Structure 1
Amino acid sequence: MPAILLLSAAGITAAHAQTTPNASQIPTFSRIVAPIDAAAIPLYPGKAPGSESRKEPEVWDRMNGDRVVRNVTDPTITPVLPAPGKATGTAVVVVAGGGFQFLSLDVEGWPIARWLADHGIAAFVLKYRPNETPGDEAAFSKKMIASFMAAMAGPDKSLPLNEPLATADALQAIKLVRAGAAKWKIDPARVGLMGFSAGAVATREAATVPDVAARPAFIGYIYGPMAATKVPADAPPMFAAIAMDDSLFGKQGFAIVESWRTAGRPVELHAYEKGDHAFGLGRPGTTTTMMMPEFLAWMDSRSLLKPAK
């Protein structure tokens, strides 16, 4: 059975785990019309493998004002490209979080992609498959809160995750971006993943699959679980970032960073004093606002920002 992770952005944090959330802590979901994404590219021809038994249709909601999508069965990538004169030749697939319950695209999808494109990096927003959830918003909210409370009451407080469909979609996205390298004027050897929270889990899994050729060239691992993991000796370089007061993973230490170091692989860690979980582009008034510029500087130090030829 898949473990459950829910973002503190959904309105509940670890501090509330042992009590029943009050009305102000419960996220509100309201159904909206699905946005038309004319630029979206299907990941698979026909039905996505593994979606055959899914019954719930895709749902778009506003969660406390931000758009989220649930019950994805037809995953896609959407290019967000830099101006031709600014293109560096590097590409990043952006993998938003949402606890494998939904995708937080308005916080960890589109804004991240636009920032990258503004700085010369071809970005691709991944709409991957989270777990199937009740279509009804009230039933979904109730189930989500119950799942979160149960997970946070467990002995580890924040469970490691491995969602095979999300990982498969991340790997397929890399494959498609590399296949379209000439069209998008990118170097197929410079295609990375940048994942947030649950998206960081899918990123970690994609970075450590046995098929070396299928892995991303580099990864941004943003407020994902910090527990130790098995790292192959040829894993891609990792940029990791987390706030020290992260409600979910702030007390785990930095074992995943040590796992990369033990494997002899390049890794850089940025641990911010404050910012909590799900800070996206950065929480105002904290140094998490430096995360994206630091990620850019890290890529530059690895010669990933050479102008496209």
Structure 2
Amino acid sequence: MRNASVLIALFLAFTSTSLAGAQKSSGPPPGLSAKRITAPPRPAARLLYPADAKVAETEVWTDLGDQRVVRNVVRPTLEAVLPDPAKATGAAVIVAPGGGFAMLAMDNEGWPVARWLADHGIAAFVLKYRLNQTPSKEADFLEEVGKIFAAAAKGEERPAIREDRATADMSAALKTVRDNAARWKVDPKRVGAIGFSAGAMTTMQAVMTAPAKAGPAFVGYIYGPMLPVTVPANAPPMFVALAIDDGLFGKQGFGIVDAWRKAGRPVELHAYERGDHGFGMGRAGTTTMLMMDEFRLWLDSRGLLAPPH
């Protein structure tokens, strides 16, 4: 497990109201440091809303340990990572990284996931969605993290993390891929999404709010909240993955899975013994390393990876 994965998981844990009192320090966790970096070149990324070309850029790229995260996104983008045409299946997946709506863990839950999917014949589209604002300067950002830890230590409740614009961005990303299906050689009926943590929450909200046939055709719901939800009548098939020792959601039970079952909608659950929160594509030494293969096999078992005729 890379150090930055631990830091991201800790950051998320202490933006959650459910873990109040778990940390006894009044500052950031030991070893938490942030360094401003230049935005990496991503020539395949396109503005989700072309009109945003006139919007002033505010995003900040930060190195947390050995992982790059982006903050203060106001100009969402969609980045296509396409498979070799010889093995393309026609399926497409929007990839929504997590980060507590304060940042996006691009190196943990974004680009590597998209590359893996493309390597297995699935067109992937990394969604850099809009976020809650955080202090621009890294020192101020860390101070904000310290306040979060201090509040947790005192047992103070904090507002639930959310960002409604992220949901709008997911819906727009789904429409963009479907509108450009011929260009990207994907089947508009097989456009789904996989979201991690806050990205899973974003994906779920798109399911809840989308008109018929406008939401994802299938969902990968990776270590998102497990509490029950009201399931729409047209809810898509859902693949759920969580480590039982997840410090954020591991003690919530599997209410969202039960809700899908009671609504008569297809759902598959993978509950791993160990892995904690933020395991990305898998934490070394745990069975979470199987998650991406299991997701692919689930898609295949549902006929979603049948090559186009």
* TM-score (normalised: structure 2): 0.89
Deviation at 1:23, TM superposition (A): 6.5
Deviation at 1:27, TM superposition (A): 2.2
How many angstroms apart in 1 are the aligned matches of 2:122 and 2:22? 39
In structure 2, do the counterparts of structure 1 residues 277 and 265 end up closer, same or farther at CA, with 3 Å as the change threshold?
same
Q: Check the 8 A contact 2:20/2:155 in 1, yes or no.
A: no
User: What's 1:236 paired with?
Assistant: 236
For 1:252, the aligned partner's letter is: Q
In structure 2, do the counterparts of structure 1 residues 211 and 114 end up closer, same or farther at CA, with 3 Å as the change threshold?
same
Q: What is the SS of the residue equivalent to 1:144?
A: helix
Q: Check the 8 A contact 1:223/1:278 in 2, yes or no.
A: yes
Is 1:45 the equivalent of 2:32?
A: no
User: What's 2:109 paired with?
Assistant: 108
Is 1:86 the equivalent of 2:87?
A: yes
For 1:42, the aligned partner's letter is: L
Q: Check the 8 A contact 1:47/1:74 in 2, yes or no.
A: yes
- Listed as ranges, the matches of 1:1-309 within 5 Å are 7-8=8-9, 10=11, 14=19, 17-20=22-25, 25-47=30-52, 57-147=58-148, 150=151, 161-309=161-309
For 1:44, the aligned partner's letter is: Y
What is the aligned-residue identity percentage? 56
Deviation at 1:143, TM superposition (A): 1.1
* TM-score (normalised: structure 1): 0.89
How many angstroms apart in 2 are the aligned matches of 1:247 and 1:270? 17
How many angstroms apart in 2 are the aligned matches of 1:300 and 1:76? 28
How many angstroms apart in 1 are the aligned matches of 2:285 and 2:76? 35
Q: Check the 8 A contact 1:244/1:250 in 2, yes or no.
A: yes
Q: Check the 8 A contact 2:11/2:145 in 1, yes or no.
A: no
How many angstroms apart in 2 are the aligned matches of 1:226 and 1:78? 29
Q: What is the SS of the residue equivalent to 2:297?
A: helix
How many angstroms apart in 2 are the aligned matches of 1:159 and 1:267? 30
Q: Check the 8 A contact 2:92/2:123 in 1, yes or no.
A: yes
In structure 2, do the counterparts of structure 1 residues 158 and 24 end up closer, same or farther at CA, with 3 Å as the change threshold?
closer
Q: Check the 8 A contact 1:171/1:214 in 2, yes or no.
A: yes
In structure 2, do the counterparts of structure 1 residues 304 and 7 end up closer, same or farther at CA, with 3 Å as the change threshold?
same
Tell me, which stretches of 5 or more residues in structure 1 are unaligned? 1-5
Q: Check the 8 A contact 1:161/1:201 in 2, yes or no.
A: no
Deviation at 1:150, TM superposition (A): 3.7
Deviation at 1:35, TM superposition (A): 1.2
Q: What is the SS of the residue equivalent to 2:50?
A: coil
How many angstroms apart in 1 are the aligned matches of 2:202 and 2:67? 22
In structure 2, do the counterparts of structure 1 residues 279 and 148 end up closer, same or farther at CA, with 3 Å as the change threshold?
same
Deviation at 1:146, TM superposition (A): 2.3
Q: What is the SS of the residue equivalent to 2:305?
A: coil
Tell me, which stretches of 5 or more residues in structure 2 are unaligned? 1-6
Q: What is the SS of the residue equivalent to 2:213?
A: helix
Q: Check the 8 A contact 1:10/1:63 in 2, yes or no.
A: no
Q: Check the 8 A contact 1:160/1:227 in 2, yes or no.
A: no
Q: Deviations over 1:161-200 (max 9, x none)?
A: 5421110111101010111100111000000010000000
User: What's 1:3 paired with?
Assistant: none
How many angstroms apart in 2 are the aligned matches of 1:15 and 1:98? 18
In structure 2, do the counterparts of structure 1 residues 23 and 70 end up closer, same or farther at CA, with 3 Å as the change threshold?
closer
In structure 2, do the counterparts of structure 1 residues 307 and 132 end up closer, same or farther at CA, with 3 Å as the change threshold?
same
Q: What is the SS of the residue equivalent to 1:47?
A: helix
For 2:136, the aligned partner's letter is: G
Deviation at 1:208, TM superposition (A): 1.4
In structure 2, do the counterparts of structure 1 residues 250 and 269 end up closer, same or farther at CA, with 3 Å as the change threshold?
same
Deviation at 1:145, TM superposition (A): 3.7
How many angstroms apart in 2 are the aligned matches of 1:125 and 1:275? 24
Q: Check the 8 A contact 2:28/2:146 in 1, yes or no.
A: no
In structure 2, do the counterparts of structure 1 residues 228 and 159 end up closer, same or farther at CA, with 3 Å as the change threshold?
farther
Q: Check the 8 A contact 1:170/1:206 in 2, yes or no.
A: yes
Q: Check the 8 A contact 2:68/2:105 in 1, yes or no.
A: yes
Deviation at 1:29, TM superposition (A): 0.8
Deviation at 1:34, TM superposition (A): 0.8
Deviation at 1:153, TM superposition (A): 6.8
Q: What is the SS of the residue equivalent to 2:80?
A: strand
Q: Check the 8 A contact 1:208/1:232 in 2, yes or no.
A: yes
